[in-house]
Each structure stands twice: as structure tokens, then as C-alpha cells.
Amino acid sequence: MSARDVSGVGDTAHARDEAIALLTQLIRIPSPSREEHVSAEFLARWLGDRGVAAERIGNNIVAGAGDRDASKPTVLLDAHHDTVRPVSSWERDPYDPLVDNDRIIGLGSNDAGGCVAAMTMTYLALHTRRDLPFNLMLALSAEEEIAGEGGITAVMDAIGPVDLVLVGEPTDMQLAVAEKGLMVLDCRAHGVAGHAARATGINAIGIAMRDIAWLARYEFPRHSALLGPVTMTVTQINAGTQHNVIPDRCDFVVDIRVPETYEHQEILETLRRGMRSELQPRSMRLRPSAIDERHLIVMAGRALGLRAFGSPTMSDQALLRVPSVKIGPGRSERSHTAGEFLLIEELDRGLRLYPLLLERYAEYLQ
């Protein structure tokens, strides 16, 4: 497979114009997590109009599942079409896309509509190629912003084995080869109620304060070369019913970001040994991920001059149990902000680099 065969996806004005049109149409469709049915219908119809038979799994759209050659590995391109709800500081209609000189402005343009457009165009260019040494599939997934069970998890359960996933998220088209997981703990310190004037009882706030101080001091010994240490941040606290009653309960929440050097269960057991408060994890699903630096997709990215890095933000990778990398047009710091935008040159770069990355990966496979 030559560079000329696949690297032209983003080289024509037609491909760019079609990608921009797809992105602007997506922006016009409100698609907050669990409410993506309209955008799912649109994407299925858009692919069908271009000769691609797409399967709908909930609000996820999947192409290529029925065309796999069992003798070849399968590569899945995955980008999410759900968005967060718009913040109140938008100064214009977030669902009214504006193509303004060098950028496309609108909710979801950066996270992750640009990835949807670039990955979809890449799939259209390559999915009929029978000489590829891998099966190529496309998933336009739902519920990513809430890590919902109706998102990529439902897709993977339905389609069966996959060998590699390229997760579309705004990384400036650099290669995120590791990603921190998340565990949120609901913590409750128990005390004994009493009258504040008599200083009777056991103040649950004091117990919580000691636990919070312990959290601030404690450092997990194993650090990740790419993601650094485990980080623990108390983000909410609540106690007391009135000024003259010693509270018998203090609730607080801890946000824990976990590198690939630890499993959630090990973190939880360590904290339970060190703290007096009752600890209850909301979920153990959002695990860290990392791919071997010798994996062919990592080698392919480096051969193209892409930088490999560890990402502090989460994506569908947290729910995948197969090798994956995160890569896409746009920049993470623009996500979930008022005035969210994607530069057209960033979209162009995605249209160019996705097929080049697949080309180089194919060369290494052969």
C-alpha cells in the first residue's frame, strides 16, 4: 500500500468541504449524553447515502462489523457524537455553527465533532480496500461524556473481538499512549451528636478533617513515567444541621486520578486502612490505560514524527479492554468551554494523518 493510495483523503477540496459540512450539520443537532437519537439517525442516514451499511446499537452507529475477514486483525476507529450541555457563558447560539475564516465555532466542534468528521472520511476512503492487512471498522459512539453503559461498552459487547482501537479525541493529532483512570469516593465520617455549648459528643467534622489531612500527606509510592503519581483531591464536603448541634455525620467526596501503575481495588484498600471514614466508590469501571511502547501503532506514530504522551483526561479508553491510542484534531483545553471551536487546519491535519498512520501501521503488519 503506497502513500499515494491513502494519504489523499484530506488533499482535495471536496474531502475538506464534505468534512466541514458533516461537522456543521452535527453541531446543529443537540446531542447531550443519552439524548443522541437524532444525531444517531442523521449519521446512519449520512453513511447510507454514501453506500455504507451502518448498524445502530442504541445511539451508537457502527460500520464494517459484518465485513470482517477472520484471518486479519481488526482496527476500530471510534469517535463520540454526544456532547456536554452548553455552559451559560456562550455569547451566541452554541447549536448555530459558524465557519469564520480559519475556524468552525459551535458546541462539539472540538470535542469531538472534528474527530467524527475526520475518522468518518478516513473510513469512507479505505473501507472498500481488500488489500489492507487489517479489517477496518468505524464506531460513532454515544454517552462518552458520562462514560455511560450505552456507549462504547455496548458497542464492544455487540461487535465482538477487536485488536486495536483508535479513539478520536482532541490531542492536536499527537499520540496519547496512556490515560489516567478515575475513581470517585463518597466518604462519610461518623460521630456522635451533642450540644455545642457543652462540648459533648464526637464531632464528625473533626474525624473528616483528620482523614482529609491524611489524604493530603499520603503519597502512593509507584509513579507512572507518563502519567505521574496517583492524585487525590477533596472536591465536596457537607456536614451539620444547625450552629449549636455537634454533627454526627460529615460527608465528603474525593476525586482520584489513577495511573496505570495501580488498580482501583489496591487504591481503595490502602485508603480504607489509613482512614476512619466509611468509603464507598461510585464506580470501579473507569480504569487507567496504557499501550506497550513497542506496539506497532505506537511505532507507526513515532515514524511519522508524532509525539507520544500521557493524557490526564478520560475518554472511551477507560472502558476498553483492548490496546488503544487516543488521537484526534483539536486541543483538549477547548473542550466544554464557551465559544468552543476547531481550526480548519486542524481538521485538515486529521484528514491527512489518520490515513497516514493506518498506512504505516499496515506496513509494519505486513
HEC profile for the chain?
A: CCHHHHCCCCCCHHHHHHHHHHHHHHHCCCCECCCCHHHHHHHHHHHHCCCCCEEEECCEEEECHHHCCCCCCEEEEEEECCECCCCCCCCCCCCCCEEECCEEECCCHHHHHHHHHHHHHHHHHHCCCCCCCCEEEEEEECCHHHCCCCCHHHHHHHHCCCCEEEEECCCCCCEEEEECEEEEEEEEEECECEECCCCCCECHHHHHHHHHHHHHHCCCCCCECCCECCEEEEEEEEECCCCCEECCEEEEEEEEEECCCCCHHHHHHHHHHHCCCEEEECCCCCCCEECCCCCHHHHHHHHCCCCEEEECCCCHHHHCCCCEEECCCCCHHHCCCCCCEEEHHHHHHHHHHHHHHHHHHHHHHC
- What's the confidence (pLDDT) of residue 5? 42
Q: Distance between CA 18 and CA 29 in Å, rounded?
A: 17
For the chain, the distance separating the N- and C-terminal CA atoms, rounded to the nearest angstrom, is: 10
Q: Kindly state the average pLDDT of the residues 263-273.
A: 97
Q: Kindly state the average pLDDT of the residues 263-280.
A: 98
Cell numbers 481495588 label which residue? Answer: 265
Q: Kindly state the average pLDDT of the residues 163-188.
A: 97
pTM listed for this prediction: 0.90
CA 139 to chain centre: 14
pLDDT tens readout for residues 192-221: 999 999 878 999 999 999 999 999 999 999
**Percentage with pLDDT > 90 across the chain:** 93
pLDDT for 346 beyond 90: yes
- Side by side, the strands of the sheet bearing 278-281 are 231-239, 249-258, 181-190, 278-281
pLDDT band at 288 (very low <50, low <70, confident <90, very high): very high
- What's the confidence (pLDDT) of residue 4? 36
Contact of 45 with 90, CB cutoff 8 Å: no
Which grid cell is 15? 474531502
Q: Distance between CA 24 and CA 29 in Å, rounded?
A: 9
Q: Distance between CA 356 and CA 10 in Å, rounded?
A: 11
Cell numbers 437524532 label which residue? Answer: 38
pLDDT for 3 beyond 50: no
Of 2-16, 55-69, 232-246, the poorest mean pLDDT is in: 2-16
**Percentage with pLDDT > 70 across the chain:** 97
pLDDT mean across residues, the chain: 94
| CA angle (268, 272, 273) in 5-degree steps | 120
pLDDT band at 227 (very low <50, low <70, confident <90, very high): very high
Q: What's the Cα-to-Cα distance from 319 to each of 4, 153, 278, rounded to whole Å?
A: 35, 7, 27
CB atoms within 10 A of CB 12: 11
pLDDT for 10 beyond 60: no
